[in-house]
Structures are given as C-alpha cells and as structure tokens.
Structure 1
Amino acid sequence: MSAPSAPSGAPRGGLVPSDAAELVGILRDGIPRTRAQLAEQTGLARSTVSSRLDALMDAGLITAATDAASSGGRPPARVTFNAGARYIVSVDLGATHGVIALGDLAGTVLFSETAPLTISEGPEAVLDWALATAKRLVKASKRPRSELAGVGIGLPGPVQHSTGMPINPPIMPGWDRFDVPAYVRRTFDVPVLVDNDVNVLALGEHAVSWPTEDDLLFVKVSTGIGLGIIAGGSLQRGAAGSAGDLGHVRVPFSRETPRHGDENADLEALASGPAIARYIAERGTPAVSSADVLALARGGHPDAVAGIRQAGRDLGEVLATCVNLFNPSVIVVGGSIARAGEHLLAGVREVVYRQSTPLATEHLQIVPAAAGETGGVLGAAIMVAQHLLEPA
C-alpha cells in the first residue's frame, strides 16, 4: 500500500529516520532516560545519540522529561517519548457495530464513538459512516489534520494485510477485494493499514494487559470465531495473512463434546453466537443472534447457560490442540459471548486443562479479555504506530 513520500533514510511510515528507530524503540516504554544511559544501552557514541535525539526533538517525537534527582550539582537531563506528537484514527468494524476513535502514538484512546451498523450494507456505506464519524472526532479534538499520522482499520473477515483488501469475507457481501486503503485515503491522505478484527484485538489486549508475555492467543467468540496469535512478542499473520482461522477447524469428538453430524461440524457452526442461539431456539425460547444469547445468559436462562458452557467445551477441543502445538502462556477469550460471564471460560478450561499436555498447561492462564469495547480501536492504533515507528 502506498504512503506519503518519506525523508531519505526513513522507514515505511516516514515518522522516524531509520538510524534513530532504535532510540525511539527504547523510549517508547515511557521511561525517561539520559543521553548517557541511551549511549550505554545502544553502544553508540554520546555525540551520535545527541544528534539523533536533536532530530527527534525537532520532529516533536521526543521531549525533555522532568529533571532527575541529583545528589549534587546539575541533575542530568532526561528525554522521553512524546506519544501525543501525532494522532491516529482507529476504526473497529464488527458485523453489527462499529467503534471509531482517535488515539496517540502509544495507542491510548483519546476520543471514541460507538454505533450499531450492518456490515453487509457494503463497503461504501459503512466506510462513509466511519469516515464521517472520524472527521467529526478530529474536529472536536481541535487537532490539525497535519498531525494525523495514519489510519488503522479492523474488519470482521479475512484480510490480505499487504494490500488492505478483504478476501472472500463470508459475512461481508460486496467487500471482496474492495480497496479499503484507497477509499479511505480519499478523505485522509495518510498511511492506511487494514487487518482482521481479531488480529487488532490481539494487539490491543497484549498491549493493555499482557505486555510482558511473548506468547499469547486471543480468541474472539461472537457472530464468528477467530484467533489472534502473538508469538515472540509479535503478531503472526502467516504467509498470506490467514493465520488464526479457527472458526473453520472441525471439532473433534470426546467425552466432553457430543458427536456431531457429518455436515457443519466446524467450530463456528457449533460455538458461535448464532450457533448457540439455534441451540436455545430448538429448546423453545426465541433466539437468533449473539445479542439474544447474551441477554438470556445474563438473565440466567438455563438453556443459554448450558449452550454457552457447551460452546466453551467445543472451543476447548480445538484450543487444546493449539496449546500443544504453540505452548502459549496466556489464552485471552473475548467477543460478545465471553461477556456473558464465566460460562464460556469454564467450558474452555474444563477441556484444555484436561486434554493438553501437563508441561504446556503448568503455567497456562485462560482469562477473559480486559480491554473492553475499545480493545479493537486500541489495537488498530498500535498497528499503525508500529508501522510508523519501528524499523522495516
């Protein structure tokens, strides 16, 4: 995908000269440091560190920090990353809702707005709403357009990350190979990055709750089911960007999981929100969507609770294999069905801890998502910030 022309020596997004990216990477943890500390940490000469920091300060990306305490004489001057130097527009689109936000270069959400939508209305209608909302938020923030660094978008379907195009998304008619970045750049002429919603949720959850864990799986259970993979501290998209398509894995049979028919026995057909709604409806209570399931479960409806618990077991059958293969330290479960209480997680834990190897589960944590409604826009902002600030 194209981006505005960058200064010589700058990486993809052009915010940071490539020779200064290491310094920015160190300072992005928010801890102020002196020039001497940076020179020691990087192995660079003090003069080299100073000249690169001066360039970063001129760009507004680095700022002077409060002076450190000193035992005598003049305290050493410290510098810190200025996450507010630029802002990012983040868009998290689901099947039935959208969240638009402005965030800074650390991913902090500054302003956000949520509204219901129907993703099947097509790309122009949905993106026009998202862009109009983003323009309104930018105006309300009183930030100039010149400080907008990029736009990050999460979509509820497979995305070819290198082009930003959805590829055969099952619940998004009209979106197949639609050039989302080009459409968005007609309004915001900045780098535009697009990924599937589960990947951006994984980035957000990793940053907010588990920044020190290098190996994490994020599972979203809602209208569909997907998996975001953090390995070695980085998001893994796979060769073509389709890693984590958990919903189309066929569910094995075990004593925890009843035998299913030969057809429609993949995970999404058994454990998604609409699948649980069908389970409830077959037992006499009207239910169609994930929202119906959530409302019934929160009211303590026994069929909803039983359906969600069984969905957790079905999900656990697949995740047990993922644990054996990948050995994560954390599995985070999010999405609308996970917000129904502990029923889904209880089913997952029941199967995973029993069927995965003891070594893989000895320290494994299976936890609910903590980032909340803004997790997707937070992750989209982090995706853009990494693109703009990290070396290619």
Structure 2
Amino acid sequence: MPGIMTAESPTDPVPAPPPGATAGDLLALIRSGGATTRGELGRVTGLSRTAVNARLLALAAAGLVLEGDEESATGGRPASTLVLNRDAGLVLAVAIGRSRSQLSVCSLDGTELAQASHDQEIGVGPDVLMPVVAGHLARMLAELDRSGEEVIGVGLSLPGTVDRRRVVSVDSPALAGWDGIALAPYLREVTGAPLVIDNDCNVMALSERDGHLCDHDDVLVLKASTGLGIGIIAGGRLIQGHLGAAGEIGHVKVAPAEGLLCRCGDIGCLEAVAGGWALVERLRAQGQEVDHVRDLVAQAVHGNGSARSVVRESGRRVGDALAATVTVLNPSAVVVGGDMAGAFDTFAAGLRDTLFPATTALAGRNLQVLPSTYGERAGLVGCVRLALEAVLSPRAVDAALARRR
C-alpha cells in the first residue's frame, strides 16, 4: 500500500456506509469497530456474501486487512475477526508551534513508534525550521530501520489559518514569514507521501475523537497558549468556515483590550489581554523572570500568586468572550488544551466565573468545562489522526485500489 495513497480533507467521523458500500467503506467499518466479521459487514452494509468477500480480497491484496482472532458467533460457526493491518505503512506527524515543534512516527492504528521534540527560536522561518524537521523525521525512520517509502501520509499543524488545498499557511501572527510558502517540498527527501495540514486548534479538536468526543457531539476545543483559538465540533463534525478561519477567537475585539496592540498588528484583540504572550510581557514588565507561557504556568502551579492571578484573569477574559459562541452553538462541553491547561484548575475557575453568567440558562445547562484528553501531546495526536483520516478515508482507499487494478 505505501506509495500509492492520496489524501483528502479529513474532517468528519465515519458515516453510515451508503448502499453499495465500497471496499473503502468496509475498511472504515473495520477500523472503527463498527463491523469486524464478514457476517457483520454484510448485515451493516446490505452487501451479499460474494460482494463482501470481493471487497475484502482487494483490501487484503493491498495489505490493509488481516484475519484476526476468532470469536464465537451466536448460534453458528466461529467467525474470523477482521483487523486493520497496522504494519501496512507509516504516518508521520508534525505539530509546529511558535517556539516548539513535536514530531512522531506512527503505525496505521495510531500507535507511536518514535517521537521527538525540537525547541526553536521564536520567529524562525521555514527555510531554517523545515530542514530541521525533515532531519528529525529521517533520523527517527532510520532508527526504526524503516524507509520513507513505507510512509503513506504526513499530518502537519500550524498556528493560524491555513489553506488545506494549497498546503500553505495564509495568516499566522505566530509564524512570520510562513504565509504562502509551500511546505511539501521540504519533506520530499524524507518521503513522497501526501502532506495534509490544518491549524493547531482544529487538530487539537481531532485529537478528541478518541477522547471527549466519545461522549459529546457538540464541543468547543479551546487552545489557550501563547495565542488563543477554538476548534469547533458541531454534530460530530469539525467546522472550519468559508476560508478556514473559523475559531479565531483570539482576535475578537473586546473592551478590556481597547487601544492595545495585538501581535497580529490590529488593535483591541482578546489576545492582547488574555493570550499567553501578553501575560508573559506583563509579568516581565513587573520584573519577574518569565520567558514563555510554560514558565508562567509552572509558576502558577507551584503557588506563585502573581502567576496564578494572571492565569485566572486570562480564563475570565476568555470566558467572557466565549460566552456568545456558547450561546449561539450550544455545545455540551468546552475542552481546554494548550499550555494554559497545565494550570487547568486555575484557568478553568476564571473561565467559569464569566462564561456561565454570560450565557443563556439553557446554553449553560449541563455545560461541562474539561481538560483536553491528551494534554501537551494533543496537537501531535491530532496530527496523527489528520494523516490517518486523510489517507485511510473510504474515498482515498478506493482511489488507491483503483490504481492498483
């Protein structure tokens, strides 16, 4: 299978298979656990036994499906369980932030085989950082004794708005000099597999597919870190907006920031009073030794009164700005991730202080404020899912099988 996959936009959960389900649809059911035997696949899809076997034969020939353990089928013979062949290929994940990048090599079931983290200078350009990223990926593959030819997809996240079709950043206040720069060429010496990208908040939302989204279909995933943004899940679907700019709450204009310059160049943005970069600047102006929002959070966790105060104040500012979104979209949970989630109790206390009084009673009813499932690794986990949902989607799998024929 490696080397023949294509990618598509990975945003939605696995839907019910349509009439005349394809081999790709069957693989999606097997991956999700929705049907794992021939009989179950036939019942769920309405396909005949012959049609199911033909599709499974194509998947097996591509190395994507294996016969797993046998389980007792009620009232009949043991039915051989079908499983995704996790070793049929690899995916790479790259979560690029303002000052740190995280990287991972994973099997097709999302199991991490190797990982790395790289701290970079703030303001570094793609010509400097991307070769370093490629070097880390090449090194990890070599240490695993694996080849770039085995990679079927790469998922990459960036802060700010991205163009997923062109695979470029289009508006990133956190990464000056990246907008419009093609990123795929930097990785060509590592792998020719398709690169799929999204912004950091959306991939954090994707990470919750195996977390809070198992219990909630309507969720706002807040990334509270150097910057601020939200990933919006409505009815189980990721909402990206007309130009992919949905969720940019950090640049909503708020009264407390009136007259204050934001790092985006505009005046009056929420980030100017609640973003991690603004909090760090405030404490440094007071003479405190704080270089990054992670330092601020660590001090808050260890009882520094000033640090706890600004983290809670940030939560209050964000809660006030988020209230209108909660009232309009009526989510059942707000999930808090990013560096500020390291002081979750303090930040969430401030968030609740202003969020609940400012929403309608109905929108606030049963609303939960929860920490992200994967903590500081949420972005990396989301990039893995970004790649897997793109290259193992029914449409991508069917296209790959068609090329094999």
Q: Same fold, TM exceeding 0.5?
A: yes
Per-residue deviation, 1:288: 4.6
Partner Cα distance (1:334, 1:57) in 2: 39
Per-residue deviation, 1:76: 1.9
Per-residue deviation, 1:74: 4.0
- What is aligned with 2:176? 173
Please state if 1:130 is matched with 2:105.
no
Partner Cα distance (1:145, 1:272) in 2: 38
Q: Structure 1's 277 and 308: CA in aligned 2 closer, same or farther, altered over 3 A?
A: same
Please state if 1:40 is matched with 2:43.
yes
Per-residue deviation, 1:32: 6.1
Partner Cα distance (1:366, 1:71) in 2: 42
Please state if 1:304 is matched with 2:307.
yes
Q: Tell me, what secondary structure is at the counterpart of 1:247?
A: helix
Partner Cα distance (1:323, 1:26) in 2: 33
Partner Cα distance (1:242, 1:32) in 2: 36
Partner Cα distance (1:236, 1:261) in 2: 29
Partner Cα distance (1:79, 1:244) in 2: 39
Please state if 1:353 is matched with 2:356.
yes
Per-residue deviation, 1:81: 2.3
Residues 149, 191 of structure 2: 8 Å contact kept: no
Please state if 1:58 is matched with 2:61.
yes
Partner Cα distance (1:81, 1:93) in 2: 29
Per-residue deviation, 1:262: 3.7
Structure 2 unaligned spans of 5+: 10-20, 261-266, 396-405
Q: Tell me, what secondary structure is at the counterpart of 2:217?
A: coil
Partner Cα distance (1:119, 1:110) in 2: 29
- What is aligned with 1:19? 22
1:204-240 deviation line (CA, Å, top 9, x unaligned): 1333343342221111111111111122222222111
Please state if 1:261 is matched with 2:258.
yes
Please state if 1:84 is matched with 2:87.
yes
Per-residue deviation, 1:155: 1.2
- What is aligned with 2:218? 215
**TM-score, structure 2 as length reference:** 0.86
Partner Cα distance (1:184, 1:113) in 2: 16
**What is the total number of aligned residue pairs between the two structures?**
377
Per-residue deviation, 1:260: 4.7
Partner Cα distance (1:378, 1:69) in 2: 34
203, 206, 209: which one aligns with 1:203: 206
Per-residue deviation, 1:283: 4.3
Please state if 1:319 is matched with 2:318.
no
Please state if 1:250 is matched with 2:253.
yes
- What is aligned with 1:256? none
Residues 225, 268 of structure 1: 8 Å contact kept: yes
- What is aligned with 2:379? 376
Amino acid at match of 2:71: A
**TM-score, structure 1 as length reference:** 0.89
Partner Cα distance (1:282, 1:120) in 2: 21
Per-residue deviation, 1:92: 0.7
- What is aligned with 2:108? 105
Partner Cα distance (1:126, 1:362) in 2: 45
- What is aligned with 2:154? 151
Q: Structure 1's 250 and 187: CA in aligned 2 closer, same or farther, altered over 3 A?
A: same
1:76-134 deviation line (CA, Å, top 9, x unaligned): 22212233322101001111111110122333322211121125221021111111111
Per-residue deviation, 1:335: 1.0
Partner Cα distance (2:63, 2:215) in 1: 28
Amino acid at match of 1:46: R
Partner Cα distance (2:257, 2:51) in 1: 65
Partner Cα distance (1:137, 1:208) in 2: 27
Partner Cα distance (2:103, 2:346) in 1: 30
Residues 29, 35 of structure 2: 8 Å contact kept: no
Q: Structure 1's 73 and 342: CA in aligned 2 closer, same or farther, altered over 3 A?
A: closer
Amino acid at match of 1:357: T
Partner Cα distance (1:196, 1:260) in 2: 25
Q: Tell me, what secondary structure is at the counterpart of 1:33?
A: coil
Residues 338, 375 of structure 2: 8 Å contact kept: no
Per-residue deviation, 1:310: 0.9
- What is aligned with 1:229? 232
Q: Tell me, what secondary structure is at the counterpart of 2:69?
A: coil
